[in-house]
Amino acid sequence: MAGLGVPDIRGTLGLYTLFTSDASAAYGKKKGRIIPVSTASNPIHQGHHLSPSIQTEIPGPFAASLKGKKEATAPLLIELSAGEITCRIDEDILACVFDTTDRIQHMFWRAIDINHPLYDSKLSAHYGDVIASYYRRMDRIIGGIFDRISADTSLLICSDHGFAPFRREVHLNSWLVEQGFMVLKDGIHSDGLFEGVDWGSTRAYAVGLTSLYLNVKGREGKGILEAGEIRQVKADLRSRLLALEGKGERVINQVHDSEELYSGGQIGKAHDLVVGYCIGYRGSWQTAIGGVPVGDVITDNVKKWSGDHCCDGALVPGVFFCNRADLAPSEHVQDIVRWIGNARRTEVFPPCFRSKEGQDE
């Protein structure tokens, strides 16, 4: 099932897949996919007696190819014994993503952060335990997994980021105008799509939540920066951003150069700088779509979306747990993928992820 708009296995928002032996459930208007099953066949041995089981499939997304569109599925065995239901997937690797931990922190952080503009004591009294209680629920799920896996099954639990408060938002394009890196026609400001930008005089622009681009000649449609100017403009942007303050506190923790972060033949398509905000700050929604709003560069976040992780990555690290003592702690999410490939003795990285000399990354 999906929670708070999280895609299900078919990539559908808010729908579900229901396996049922109740024939009446297959009729009427439903907001999910209902798969009829029967316990009349496929008995399995449970000690000295036979127990009913159901052999079915989990429907997945559609995969397109030159031969047409085909639905991906995973075999599912449902065993019924002594009032318990056990589901087994006969595969050598199974991955499951729990996204609701992410969504509830985005929405309910204001209930635990007394410094958030939308913090309310009554709201906190009612919803202040939502995040912690859901993590306790996740812990029980993990406990159930431990009870069911075999001794030789490897279990890896990881997240790609942590979480932090989102109290104030930075209108980065407005800051670029203030600092002279972006120029607007006749002083026009807009909420999106770079309306009114004078590209013939603009050296830098922001789009997305942490991405900063230079208006480079030959790459951007109306670029003006020569190759020899790029390094100096980057240095100027970095020094000024690191000096930015809001209410007497530092706003930017670090500004990363893409040439230091990435490598490979596709680096020319990447953003030029990555803005690593301090805890409590994030790029504004208007910045994400190329907006240049009028007014203060830094404003309070008064939306219910009150927690976030789009600050400097070093400030919101993910976690990694494993039941294998021989698996060394990882410093990069790709190391986990490489370890899975080694364990399965297969190549799990497509060519675009390899970092060898002469290959794209």
Residue 164 has pLDDT above 70, yes or no: yes
The answer to whether residue 12 is domain-embedded is no
Angstrom distance (rounded) from CA 79 to CA 146: 18
Residue 14 has pLDDT above 60, yes or no: no
Indicate the range of 77-86, 187-196, 241-250 predicted with least confidence. 77-86
Residue 330 has pLDDT above 80, yes or no: no
Residue 354 has pLDDT above 70, yes or no: no
Q: What is the mean pLDDT of residues 117-124?
A: 97
The answer to whether residue 22 is domain-embedded is yes
Q: Are 181 and 287 in a shared domain?
A: yes
How many residues belong to the chain? 361
Contact criterion met (CB below 8 Å) for 246 and 168: yes
pLDDT band at 351 (very low <50, low <70, confident <90, very high): very low
| Residue numbers of the domain that contains 28 | 17-88
Per-residue pLDDT reduced to its tens digit, 282-307: 999 999 999 999 999 999 999 999 99
pLDDT band at 357 (very low <50, low <70, confident <90, very high): very low
Per-residue pLDDT reduced to its tens digit, 184-242: 998 787 878 898 999 999 999 999 999 999 999 999 999 999 999 999 999 999 999 99
Q: Are 258 and 245 in a shared domain?
A: yes
Q: Are 255 and 338 in a shared domain?
A: no
Q: Are 295 and 230 in a shared domain?
A: yes
Phi, psi of 303 (to 5 degrees): -100, 155
Q: Are 121 and 244 in a shared domain?
A: no
| DSSP result, 171-236 | -HHHHHHHHTSS-BGGG--BSSTTTTB-TTT--EEE-SSSEEEE-BBTTBTT--B-GGGHHHHHHH
Average pLDDT in the chain? 84
Domain edge (last residue) among 88, 109, 130: 88
pLDDT band at 6 (very low <50, low <70, confident <90, very high): very low
Per-residue pLDDT reduced to its tens digit, 28-79: 556 677 888 887 655 555 554 556 888 888 877 777 777 788 877 778 888 8
Tokens representing 280?
Answer: 């409590």
Contact criterion met (CB below 8 Å) for 291 and 195: no
* Count of structural domains, the chain: 3
At 270 the three-state DSSP class reads coil
The answer to whether residue 294 is domain-embedded is yes
Q: Are 147 and 61 in a shared domain?
A: no
Contact criterion met (CB below 8 Å) for 75 and 54: no
The answer to whether residue 6 is domain-embedded is no
Per-residue pLDDT reduced to its tens digit, 168-177: 999 999 999 9
Q: Are 211 and 276 in a shared domain?
A: yes
The answer to whether residue 360 is domain-embedded is no
Q: Are 230 and 269 in a shared domain?
A: yes
Name the pTM for this structure: 0.80
pLDDT for 34 equals 81
Q: What is the mean pLDDT of residues 138-150?
A: 90
Q: What is the mean pLDDT of residues 136-154?
A: 89
Q: Looking at per-residue confidence, does 139 or 49 come out higher?
A: 139
Tokens representing 271?
Answer: 């953003």
The answer to whether residue 192 is domain-embedded is yes
Q: Are 182 and 301 in a shared domain?
A: yes
The answer to whether residue 361 is domain-embedded is no
Q: Are 81 and 104 in a shared domain?
A: no
**Cα Rg of the chain, angstroms:** 26
